Amino acid sequence: MPKLKTRKSVKKRYKLIAGKRFVRRKAFKGHLLEKKSPKQKRNLANTIVVSEADTKVIRKMLVY
């Protein structure tokens, strides 16, 4: 059976913590920042733990 390939986009976006949970950046911080308040931009700069349902999907994409 051939090797399964890791999805490179997922590898760049998610980081594994504590061996079982994933951390990701929040969306909407890439552009159009002039109209967003400083409070909103500060909040978007933080990382967030991925939900349990999405963790299963990410694990399938990150085979190795």
Per-residue pLDDT of the chain (64 residues), as tens digits, is: 899 999 999 999 999 999 899 999 999 999 999 999 999 999 999 999 999 999 999 999 998 8
CB atoms within 10 A of CB 14: 20
Does residue 2 lie in a domain region? no
- CATH number, domain with residue 21: 4.10.410.60
| Domain ranges, residue 54 | 8-61
The predicted structure's pLDDT at residue 19: 86
Does residue 35 lie in a domain region? yes
Does residue 1 lie in a domain region? no
> For the chain, how many structural domains are there in total?
1
Does residue 3 lie in a domain region? no
Strand 15-17 with 47-49, pairing: unpaired
pTM: 0.80
Burial of 22 (0-12, 13-18, 19+ CB in 10 A): buried
Does residue 16 lie in a domain region? yes
